Amino acid sequence: MIVEVQGTPPTRATPGSAGADLRARHFHTFPPGTRHKVKTGVRVAIPHGYVGLVIARSSLVDNFGLKLANSVGVIDSDYRNEIMLHLENVTDHDVKVSSGDRLAQLIIVPCYMDAFVEADLDETSRGDGGFGSTGKN
């Protein structure tokens, strides 16, 4: 993956890690209930036919009391600006983030890029069932 970095490059914690950690580039203080964009210092050139997904690290809420405000960030293959993390403080106290703190993960996956074709869809055993229609779990 081609990256341009003004900070710490994305790194995998282990050889089997699907996601590469994204880190805060600067110190930030988040008052309770606020949202801020945090710079990572990372720009990527994702190949056509792939998409970058920015997801929270599993420890983001436990260690920091923060969550990604948009749940999952999408980085298109033609995006070249810095990756920003839109974080929200979900606690009742100030949360401090230091430069270098691992906050999110970047995962690169294949993405269907062909045109959508309008057609009548076939029926399935699910029928018209929507949310929760396949069980109570």
Where do the domains of the chain lie? 2-110
Confirm if 108 and 46 have CB atoms less than 8 A apart: yes
Report domain 2-110's class.
mainly beta
- What is the residue-level pLDDT of the chain in tens, covering all 137 positions? 788 888 889 999 999 999 999 999 999 999 999 999 999 999 999 999 999 999 999 889 998 999 999 999 999 999 999 999 999 999 999 999 999 999 999 999 999 999 999 999 998 887 777 777 776 65
End-to-end CA distance of the chain: 39
Q: Which helix (H) or strand (E) holds 84?
A: strand 84-89
Report the greatest alpha carbon distance in the chain.
Answer: 53
